[in-house]
Amino acid sequence: MALSLAEERDRLLSRSDLVGRQWTRAFSDVADTWLRGIFPKRSRIALVALGSHGRRELCPYSDLDLMCVHRGLRSVDEVSSELWYPIWDSGFGLDHSVKSIKDALEVAKGDIRAMLGLVDLRFICGDQELANELASRTMGLWQRDHVKFLREIANSMRSRYDSSGDLAFLLEPDLKEARGGLRDFAIYSALMKAKRPFSSEVDRHLLEGHDLLLAARVELHRRSRKGEDRLLLQEQDQVASLVGMADADELMGKISEAARAISYAVNRLARFDSTSNSKAISGSLKTNPSVKFRSVQGELEIELPENVGLGVVQVLEIASVSAHGQLPIQIPSLIGIRASLDYDGGRWPAGALSQLVSLLGTARSAIFAIESLEFVRLFTALLPEWDLVRSKPQRNAYHRFTVDRHLLEAAANAALYRREVHRPDLLLLGALFHDIGKGVANRDHTEAGVELMDSIAVRIGLNSQDTVIIKKLIEHHLLLADMAMKRDVSDPMTVEKVADALGDLETLELLEKLTEADSLATGSAAWSHWKKLLISDLVSGVKSKILGAEPKLSNGKYNVDLLDELAESCGSDCAVSVHPDGLFVAAPDRPGLFSAVTGALALVGFSVVGAEVFTHRDVAIEVFQTMSEWESEFNWEKFKKELPKALAKPEDVEKKLLEKRKHYRKRQLTAEGLQLDPKVLIDQGASATATVVEVWGPDRIGLLHELTRVIAVSGLSITKAKVLTLGDDVIDTFYLVDGQGNPIADDEAISSLRASLMEVVSNSAG
């Protein structure tokens, strides 16, 4: 008895020797054979495969894309019942149609998706002459009119990119729909059938990348047993092994390489990046007038004299022309530039550094100019250290880009602040190189980056004084963010630590803007108005310290009338006020007050990002900075009703939070193999007035409430609290004092506190 199509697929899936293109071709052939067996025996009809099936790239759980072409078929329903129903019965998805040649071409003229499907048409069975006629007429139409479809192609690409993002830089990319993915390669292939403007070397490079994406998709389908195209973190190590790579880092690095090449190539052919902002320009390079350039159909064409040699200065000037004119460089021009490069890897000549700074000063335009160069590895050729971070993934949910793209994004952000610092050139260079050390394995990336900067500085021609500043920016690029989010910025010891590390106002000024540029380039969770205010307060205090003035501390920063009103109205109960400065809660001080408030906040859907506790007129005042899980929905009335219940019956809060966790499943972005062990750090020297405790671990609903409940039960009081969220991890920092209002001095109490907090956060990890 013949196997069903699903059984044939499962048989092939059991064969580990078939991977990637080998597997898809084998399955496409099996599907063809099976379809021939059910095809109705009629004259003047043909069955053709379209799309991925037409290209023999049928993945395990892909839909079948088929057309029954006919000439004068009387009843379409007869064919449907004999052909389509058996396919549906076999459990396969089906994109199908029954058309005459005329009807098929008419539809294709007005529908780019139908046209692209026909471009990949392949005969399966039936009347071959009929199928050949449709294929021939389709290709003639496509080669003649493909330019008319470019706007529609670009619009469809833009829609996909908005939805699926950029494959080269995503943590968990969609291999098919994302920018630079398999659908983009199909468009590239179709456009290449109309016109072949590139070299065979480029074609080979892109085909290798496409084959990797196809192989990864096959293995993803094989593992998930469904049409899953998103390569989730937890699948990456296994897929890497199945396609013959050492680990997920190697796989995702190669996927990034493939996607950025495919993206650039198809975008050039489809004129995707051609916008109304691009400028019609022409001229000659200032550094070599024999090299001409001009804009052609929204791209930059470079005319190179025969046997010309291009140095670092000329290549960077071409990139600057591209960025300033917002014109992507043509691929044939890039190939010519790469072939004409005359650079031995030594020290850059005079003028090259200023060209780089000028390029970086164009902000986001610089990203795409440098990405243009990297299509043929030109930027890496000029700056070999860049190869360390090129396409290097950052496998955590906090970062959204590969290391190289993150650096370019940070530099683009820094360019927006170039009027706000005295040395914008150092700000741009500091942003470009601040994470360069992430390319060095098994090393602290800041230490490695500082060492690498020595060789980079010599190569690009930085003087010794500027090198010292940039190395200091690299060394301390996380300092302001860490101190602002984990420490009390008004504490003199915090201010002194930052001032001692930086030492001068120029570095402080640059680091403040670099911190913002870096955070914005990291991801949406890495920057907020609250974080900006904290860093601004910290910088203000450090400036005063460096200048020898008395730092302006935060005492009295809240409106006294508001505090008086809260103190008077709370009585023996509690009072709540929602204010632009935060959520204010006033109550007679009691053990567990902070824990009750955080529990009530968690129950109504609020996350705490910062908190401060102090006494005013013998009343405890707690000020919270919060974020709503539902963005703009601030359900304060519900919170005001929930808080008295939490104060009266704290044990009920535990039950309610447990129930809420059961019904609320936040998708964890961090794969099991990437989760870090939870930890509790207790620093007795970070503040003169309190003991500082940091708790690191995976986030969950009510975690802050549980931690603060433990602190309350231990007989300790919280004077300040800060919460830093890094993807699915949190760092909760507490300033604690004992019953007498002093830092914790008893070693046994510290040991017990550490164990209790570790138990809570370890349960969170499980």
What are the beta bridge partners of residue 141? none
SS3 56: coil
CB-CB contact of 735 with 690 (8 Å): yes
Return the amino acid letter for 581. D
Q: Are 586 and 570 spatial neighbours (Cβ–Cβ below 8 Å)?
A: yes
Q: What is the mean pLDDT of residues 265-280?
A: 72
Nearest in space to 752 (alpha carbons), one of 700, 713, 723: 713
3-state SS class at 661: helix
Scanning 504-623, the segments in alpha helix (DSSP H) are 505-522, 529-547, 560-570, 593-603
- Both tokens of 572, joined, read 């023996």
Burial 332-359 (b: 16+ CB within 10 A, else e): bbbbbbbebbebeeeebeebbbebbbbb
Other Cβ atoms less than 10 A from the Cβ of 666: the count is: 11
Q: Are strands 64-70 and 94-100 parallel, antiparallel or unpaired?
A: parallel
Q: What is the pLDDT of residue 178?
A: 95
For the cut 50, the answer to whether the pLDDT of residue 667 exceeds it is no
pLDDT tens digits for range 138-165: 999 999 999 889 989 999 999 999 999 9
Contact 395, 495 (CB under 8 A): no
What pLDDT score does 279 carry? 65
- The model's confidence at residue 555, banded by pLDDT at 50, 70 and 90, is very low
pLDDT tens figures, 701-729: 888 889 999 998 898 988 888 877 665 67
Average pLDDT over residues 434-440: 95
Residues 358, 287 contacting (CB under 8 angstroms): no
Mean pLDDT for all residues in the chain: 88
Return the SS3 of 541: helix
Residue indicated by tokens 């109309």: 194
- Per-residue HEC secondary structure of 101-147 comes to HHHHHHHHHHCHHHHHHHHCCEEEEECHHHHHHHHHHHHHHHHHHHH
Q: 632 pLDDT band (50/70/90 cuts)? A: very low
Q: Check whether 185 has a pLDDT greater than 80.
A: yes
- 645 pLDDT tier (thresholds 50, 70, 90): confident
Q: SS3 for 419?
A: coil
What is the pLDDT, as a whole number, of residue 357?
94
Using DSSP, state whether 735 is helix, strand or coil.
Answer: strand
Show the DSSP H helices in 284-417 as ranges: 312-325, 331-340, 352-360, 364-375, 378-382, 403-415
Residue 713 in tokens: 């039960």
Lowest mean pLDDT among 344-353, 367-376, 619-628: 619-628
Beta bridge partners of 607: 627
Helix H or strand E segment including 467: helix 464-475
The amino acid present at 431, given as its one-letter code, is: A
Give the burial class of 313: count Cβ atoms within 10 A of its Cβ; 0-12 exposed, 13-18 middle, 19 or more buried: buried
| Structure tokens given for 250 | 């190697």
Compute how many other C-beta atoms are within 10 angstroms of the C-beta atom of residue 557.
12
State the average pLDDT over residues 322-346: 92
The fold of 560-765 is Alpha-Beta Plaits (3.30.70)
What's the distance, CA 11 to chain centroid? 37
The SS3 assignment for 476 reads coil
Cα separation, 150 vs 159, whole angstroms: 14
Nearest to 610 by CA among 715, 529, 522, 519: 529
Contact 158, 274 (CB under 8 A): no
- C-alpha distance across the termini of the chain, in Å: 50
Give the separation between CA 184 and CA 189, rounded to whole angstroms.
9
Q: How many Å apart are CA 149 and CA 761, to the nearest integer? A: 56
552 pLDDT band (50/70/90 cuts)?
Answer: low
Which of the four pLDDT bands, split at 50, 70 and 90, describes residue 401? confident
Q: Which residue has the higher pLDDT, 98 or 590?
A: 98
Tokens 């910088």 belong to residue: 539
**Residue the block writes with tokens 């990348």:** 209
Whether 593 and 622 have beta carbons less than 8 Å apart is answered as: yes
Query: How much is the average pLDDT of 268-279?
Result: 67
Specify whether the CB–CB gap between 194 and 271 falls below 8 A.
no
Indicate the pTM of the whole model: 0.81
270 touches 328 (CB < 8 A): no
Dihedral, 159, 165, 167, 170 alpha carbons, nearest 10: -170
563-585 pLDDT per residue, tens = 888 888 887 778 888 887 788 99
Separation between Cα atoms, residue 19 and residue 692, nearest integer Å:
54
Q: 497 to each of 466, 589, 610, 766, how far by Cα in Å?
A: 23, 33, 21, 36
Name the residue among 176, 327, 192, 376 with its Cα closest to residue 266. 192
Distance CA(112)–CA(153), nearest Å, equals 7
Strand partners, 65: 95
pLDDT tens-place string over residues 504-524: 999 999 999 999 999 999 876
Helix (H, G, I), strand (E, B), or coil: what is residue 352?
A: helix
| Cα distance between residue 219 and residue 239, in whole Å | 6
- d(CA 44, CA 301) in angstroms, rounded, equals 50
Residue 4's pLDDT band (cuts 50, 70, 90): confident
- Sign of torsion over alpha carbons 338, 344, 349, 355: positive
Mean pLDDT throughout 37-53?
Answer: 90
Query: What CATH number does domain 5-149 carry, 1.20.1270, 3.30.460, 3.40.50, 1.10.3470?
Result: 3.30.460
Count CB atoms within 10 A of the CB of residue 311. Answer: 20
CATH placement of domain 165-269: 1.20.120.330
Q: Are 108 and 87 in contact (CB under 8 A)?
A: no
Residue 394's pLDDT is what?
A: 82
Handedness of CA 756, 761, 765, 766 (dihedral sign): positive
Residue in 504, 365, 512, 514 with CA at minimum distance from that of residue 428: 514
CA 46 – CA 346 distance, rounded (Å): 63
CA distance linking residue 49 with residue 52, whole number of Å: 8
Residue, of 354 and 570, whose pLDDT is higher = 354
- Give the pLDDT confidence of 75-93 residue by residue, as tens digits: 667 677 788 888 888 888 8
What is the pLDDT at residue 660? 77
Which string of b and e fits 384-403 if b means at least 16 CB within 10 Å?
ebbebbbbbbbbbbbbbbbb
pLDDT in tens, 57-72: 999 999 999 999 998 7
pLDDT over 90 at 465, yes or no: yes
Task: Give me the pLDDT at residue 636, please.
Answer: 79
**Residue in this structure with the two tokens 């009530």, named with its chain if needed:** 600
Is the pLDDT reported for residue 1 higher than 70? no
- Which contiguous run of DSSP H or E holds residue 609? strand 606-616
| Edge-to-edge order in the sheet of strand 679-683 | 575-579, 582-587, 619-628, 606-616, 717-726, 729-737, 691-698, 679-683
Nearest alpha carbon to residue 648 among 613, 610, 599: 599
